[in-house]
Structure 1
């Protein structure tokens, strides 16, 4: 029916992440049939808690067809007739992303993506689900996922559960000194191979993430003062809207991307041209999960890589705003840049060197 690790993960999701209570409603959404074992474990656990599961199972090819054929009227009707009224009744949401092909939607047009973002994703997820439910989103392991991570399947499964079942309470404690420093910081600079960029974070709000909204988790984020970003930055491999990028380089002046290069410049320009906010930055974050070491073409994992930062193109989060609005939110990851807070180097490469921050280094968070 389901394995012991899925049972442990279901317990962590419902009790720790969603903090589900008796009598509450929770939407359990599975995209891709691969994660059915975890879904079964979640349904069983929800009922044992005397809460109410609302189950959605989506085939990824059907999802692609809807994305390709959807337009403004279709997505508006989908949201208003079905998903938005239902989401408004939810206390919690669990989204399991279990696609076997991360490139399934690579051929969906810019126009179709925008229609989905404007008339479905924004009202249903960004405005209602994100702001009014205890939500968590996670991937599920597969042979295809292992292949992107360049690992044997069993090794990847072991890695997956180790990253997801991390002691997040311990990580939360280790984050506190960094959060304290950042709340007093005015300017941040990243300097490394292909990267020299700085920006102001004066007065910005910092949010620690330790298993409440993403599994796996491990980041501390805010947003840069919108017009303060200047310099250039080089990012690790990424996939966005089903399109793979082996690298992305951006040149930034007064908060706006003025030049760029990548392994697919046509696709990159299309993303940057989505709207005005797509060329600006809505988030800055430290990746802090000690288990996750290398990019695997999956943002949910890659943005948590220890010794990394993501300076995110597009929309900000209401919980840590800077005023940027966009239909995109692309967590591009820069790995191993030196980090300076108000001129003091606090991380060299991927290792924190400030005494009060050394607790975030992997050797101090992992017992084996």
Structure 2
């Protein structure tokens, strides 16, 4: 029997996130079998709405085998024959990430990851899905996910639905004063433990996120002026391409990473060497979800941590461009730095101190 939590989450995704319309084609992709109840809830409600679901269920072990053994020719063929023609016919894409092991692809080589990213992920997802469908991606709770969050499974499941089902209209309203300030800002300065970095966002577009593309959600993002980033920044734990990093530190000059340190420097160097854009930044964002407090090695949650920012290595988004092109997009998160806009302190640690922004503090949203 499908839980009421999953029925409510499916309703949110279809009515709020993707605004599903009768007759639309909807790809529902499930990676890992753990999220089958949410898929069932979605398929039932999609048909009730008179839309057309296209189901893709992918086993994480098979996906690992394909990524580890795939090369340029294989992924070009996969995109050309299967995924890209189908994606071009979709009006809506819903992705459920239900893997039990976030390190499944950790043994894939640099060359294998590059082939997958450049010849499959970029054309199918970055270029087609992101730009031409109404899309939404979410994780699904599991004991393994709870372990990464350092919580008992029942407590984590309770937290998961609370974080996913926040009051998004209230959050959207609370973001408006910050968006107004940012649109008038030239320089942003982050200063905290292990972090002292400045960059310009003058003239850049800002996008408020309140449950349209990610569940859970809660961020306000743009991109830095490409060559303006200078200083050093320290990030919280992260996982990218299946490889764990307990910390990442970057030194940046004129928008380019010139030195680095991490708990996994060989893997970090491989990522930074992916292409020229991998050492530059394609996004900057404020994390604003009032429920998410600490990292759990899952970027869809960690990038929304309240009192955080992510300064993202790699590709920009077309809705907030800065001209950076790359086959990576790694949302590394910095938690608790003081934030200055054109010299004015607006957030001290994790709490906004400017009067017009205090509505974004968790006690005023939960």
TM-score of the two chains, using structure 2 as the length reference = 1.00
Distance 2:196 2:248 in 1: 14
1:82, CA displacement in angstroms? Answer: 1.1
Matching residue of 1:301 = 301
Does residue 151 of structure 1 match 2:170? no
Runs of 4+ that moved beyond 4 A: none
Once the two structures are superposed, what CA deviation does each residue of 1:295-340 show, in whole Å capped at 9, x if it has no partner? 0000010000000000000110011000111111000000000000
Q: Within 2, Cα distance between the matches of 1:59 and 1:2?
A: 21
Structure-2 residue corresponding to 1:120: 120
User: How many Å apart are 1:36 and its aligned residue?
Assistant: 0.3
- Structure 2, unpaired ranges of 5+: none
Residues 149-208 of structure 1, C-alpha deviations (whole Å, 9 max, x = no match): 000100000000000011111100000000000000000000000000000000000000
| Structure-2 residue corresponding to 1:215 | 215
The Cα shift of 1:69 comes to: 1.1
Supply the distance in 2 between the matched residues of 1:87 and 1:269 (Cα, whole angstroms).
Answer: 33
Map of 1:58 onto structure 2: 58
Cα displacement string for residues 110-134 of structure 1 (whole angstroms, at most 9, x for unaligned residues): 1111111111111111111000100
Equivalent position of 1:6 in the other structure: 6
In the alignment, what sits opposite 1:346? Answer: 346
Q: Match of 2:47? A: 47
Q: Aligned residue for 1:185?
A: 185
**d(CA) in 1 for partners of 2:228 and 2:268?**
23
Alignment-derived partner of residue 258 in structure 1: 258
Classify the secondary structure of the residue corresponding to 2:130: helix
Deviation at 1:73, TM superposition (A): 1.1
Question: After superposition, where does 1:165-204 map in structure 2 within 5 Å?
Answer: 165-204=165-204
Secondary structure (helix, strand or coil) at the match of 2:327 reads coil
Could you say what secondary structure the match of 1:322 adopts? coil
Q: TM-score, normalised by structure 1?
A: 0.99
5 Å-filtered alignment, 1:1-368, equals 1-366=1-366
CA distance in 2, matches of 1:73, 1:269: 25
Take 1:66 and 1:271, find their aligned partners in 2: how far apart are those partners?
20
Once the two structures are superposed, residues 45-100 of structure 1 have per-residue CA deviations (whole angstroms, 9 ceiling, x without a partner) of: 00110110000000000000010111111111111111111111100000000000
Q: Any stretches of 5+ residues in structure 1 without a counterpart?
A: none
In 1, the alpha carbon distance for the partners of 2:278 and 2:303 equals 18
SS state at 2:227 partner: helix
What is the rounded CA distance, in whole Å, between the counterparts of 1:237 and 1:83 in structure 2?
Answer: 32
Instruction: Count residues in correspondence.
Output: 366
Please give the alpha-carbon distance, in whole angstroms, between the structure 1 residues aligned to 2:322 and 2:189. 18
Q: Distance in 2 between matches of 1:201 and 1:218?
A: 20
